[in-house]
Structure 1
Amino acid sequence: MNISLYDISVWVLPLVIAITFHEAAHGFVAWRFGDETALRLGRVSFNPLKHIDPFGTLLLPAMLLLSGSPFLFGYAKPVPVDFRNLKPLRAGMVMVALAGPGTNILLAVAAALAFHVVPLVPPEAARWVAHNLYNAVLINILLAVFNMLPIPPLDGGRVAVGLLPRPLAVPLARLEPFGMLILVAILILLPLAGAQFGLNLDVVSRLVRATTDSIFQLLLLLTGNA
């Protein structure tokens, strides 16, 4: 797979912005609901270096891309939140979790609307700007959809823990230490194992891609770009 400097330049900026705003939003909403942990540690910040995990944000996605993996997967440094400080607890947990994906959707809308100013950009830069905006819409929608999978520690898992009755919420919350292993198994190992037997077990990835594509097309339509 040949990846040019141009390809890197139109993916890195939208990815870094999407991750930075996602994580900063978690910390900001946690602070607004009474927990200052992220604020004290400098995580309510638009400085990407505060949020990027060298392996999870850069190395792992690059390895998967170069290996031809059926799904790209990565993560940033999790924003520390002491849920005991949130008031009210359950509403705070849900709102903190929704802050990241919600921010990504807002960024996707902003990028889609910005397509309308591309004709005003000098011709020599217009193609680069358009590709950045296109990738910003795609990346932010994908991050929002992926993070809303109902598996802790993803945001969707924490939303589910905050909304479900206690008998269901407690066992789901106990999965959090194993969440990343579950995701790797579902997104990478299961499809690879299925391929050995001629089976397409890439169910979750296909669901995420289909949902992302549907929201992408709808957003382009609503912002007058379709």
Structure 2
Amino acid sequence: MGWWFANFWSSDPMVAVAWIVWVVVSIVLHELGHGWAAIRLGDDTPRRLGHMTWNPIVHMGWMSLVMLAVIGIAWGMMPVDPSRLRGRHGDAVMSAAGPAVNLALFGLCVVMMPVTAAVVDSGTNLGRNLMTLWLVGGALNLTLMLFNLVPVPPLDGSRIAASFSEGYRRFAATEQGAVVSLIAFVVLFMWGGGEIFGFGFDVTRAAARAGMDLLGVRWGSSA
């Protein structure tokens, strides 16, 4: 096993470039989704603390950016005050806003793949690079959405589950719950992440093919 960037670059330089671009863009927009929802629900903490910005350093921090460079994986953070959110399930709505942004980005990439096939020659570098960009973006964002919806702290799904289940909320707040959550997160990340990502690629390709069939276009040797 070598450095992830070198491995990606040797396979296809555009994959490496697309990965970095989409990881940063997806995390920034994911966190802005949380912030926008929080503000709409009455909590101005994201704005007061200067997090409603496009600056990836603000959302990701230097440690996350270093980890992106080292292992190709990063994370983000949006400060919110759940006690200031309106509505019984305000925290759930705010938490779901991030994955919703990833779903929208997935949809955008899926739409752009058949559009690219319709207007760009598949034999050109531009066409191949654009298709790689959309494929990586679609797979990554679908993966981020699914991964974040798993009800394991610190993922968004845990806050959604806690908003609807008093039992879950009480258990997660205990020392035993914290240990179980940590183990579950590590297992999910180490052994489930690859499966979810592979599923993301398969779904993105299948959705793109369906779009191409709808438009009556083909891409290269396989639609």
Show CA shifts across 1:127-152 (max 9, x none): 22211111100110111111111112
| Aligned with residue 91 of structure 1, among 75, 89, 111 | 89
Per-residue displacement from partner, 1:52-76 (whole Å, max 9, x unpaired)? 23323x33355446xxxxxxx5322
**Aligned counterparts of 1:39 and 1:173: Cα–Cα separation in 2:** 28
**CA–CA separation in structure 1 for the residues paired with 2:153 and 2:186:** 14
- 1:56-67 matched pairs, under 5 angstroms: 56=64, 58-64=65-71
Post-superposition, which runs of at least 4 consecutive aligned residues in structure 1 deviate over 4 A?
173-181
The TM-score with structure 2 as length reference comes to 0.76
For residues 109 and 170 of structure 1, what CA distance do their matches in structure 2 show?
36
2:206 and 2:94 map into 1 onto residues whose CA distance is 26
The aligned counterpart of 1:75 is 75
Aligned CA-pair RMSD: 2.9
The residue type paired with residue 156 of structure 2 is D
| Equivalent position of 2:50 in the other structure | 42
Shift of 1:183: 5.6
| 1:128 matched to 2:123 | no
Q: What does residue 204 of structure 2 align with?
A: 216
Q: Distance in 1 between matches of 2:180 and 2:69?
A: 21
The aligned residue for residue 54 of structure 1 is 62
How far apart, in 2, do the equivalents of 1:126 and 1:6 lie?
A: 12
Question: 1:128 and 1:180 mapped to 2: Cα distance?
Answer: 40
Query: 5 Å matches for 1:163-174?
Result: 163-164=164-165, 166-174=166-174
Structure 2: gaps (5+ residues): 214-222
Measured in 2, the distance between the counterparts of 1:13 and 1:181 equals: 29
Normalised by the length of structure 1, the TM-score is 0.75
Query: What is the CA–CA distance in structure 1 between the aligned matches of 2:39 and 2:180, rounded to whole Å?
Result: 25
Alignment gaps of 5+ in structure 1? 66-72, 192-201
